[in-house]
A and B are shown apart, each in its own frame.
Chain A
Amino acid sequence: MSSQKTFEQTKIFTEMVARKQGWALNPDASFYKSLVDGLAANYNRYGYFLCPCRDTEGSRDADKPAICPCVWSRADIPEYGHCFCALYLSKEFAESGKEPRAIPDRRYEDK
């Protein structure tokens, strides 16, 4: 593959997304690291930042809604305080000190 992403490059990507969207990054350092590792692994396998908590459907087109930041994060973060994989949190949720937990996957809502 022509380009591979390092942990550091992937971390910068998540910081950029969080800044642009007005979200916070998961403050649990080891959990955050595992998600950045997962995102980098997905980029280096598939060529795009597939959500680390979602499996590929086999093509970039099919996976497009699940490419980080996934389309469902815009609904999940206001409703649950964090996205499906819990990489991004609303600032309010992050300040509350609550711990993210598994939430329903909206990917299947319209299928």
Chain B
Amino acid sequence: MNLQNLPVVSKTGARNDHEIMVYALSTCGFCKRAIAFLESNNFSYKYLYVDLIPLEVKNTIKQELKERFKENVAFPFAVIDERTHLVGFIEADWKLTLGL
């Protein structure tokens, strides 16, 4: 997925064992919780607030995610190591997937 020229935020933490990209909404409580979870567990990760980018770009990203992961896109939507994904924030699921 081409995320060049989009306001992707990169955060650096001590934990670098996974490549984590989070698609989120700046208005969403569960998205904020997911980001706070990554932050408090000291992960390196990236995130993009898709409500702050042009609609057509957002729709393209959603379509690509849907086709790739065969799942409707809700937020937060995290892509882990380019191959697995998490939809919504359920802390136990994120811990399991991220090996905590």
Contact = CB atoms under 8 A, between A and B. Distances in A.
Contacts of B31: 53
A86 B29 contact: yes
Interface in A57-104: 58, 85-87, 101-104
A53 B50 contact: no
A107 B73 CA distance: 10
Interface centre among B30, B32, B33 (most CB of A within 10 A): B30
Contacts of A38: 25-29
B89 interface: yes
Given A105-B72, A105-B74, A108-B72, A53 B28 contact: yes
Contacts of B47: none
Contacts of B58: 55
A25 interface: no
Contacts of B55: 56, 58
A104 B87 CA distance: 9
Contact of A55 (B32, B75, B89, B91): B75
A24 interface: no
Contact of A102 (B51, B62, B90): B90
A85 B31 CA distance: 10
B90 A53 contact: no
Nearest to B74: A105
Given A58-B55, A101-B90, A53 B30 contact: yes
Contacts of B62: 55
A38 B33 CA distance: 14
Interface of B: 25-33, 50-51, 55, 58, 62, 72, 74-75, 87-91
The 5 closest A-B pairs by CB, nearest first: A102-B88, A38-B27, A52-B27, A108-B72, A53-B28
Interface of A: 31, 34-35, 37-39, 41-42, 52-56, 58, 85-87, 101-105, 107-108, 111
10 contacts: A31-B29, A38-B27, A38-B29, A41-B27, A52-B27, A53-B74, A86-B29, A101-B88, A101-B90, A107-B72
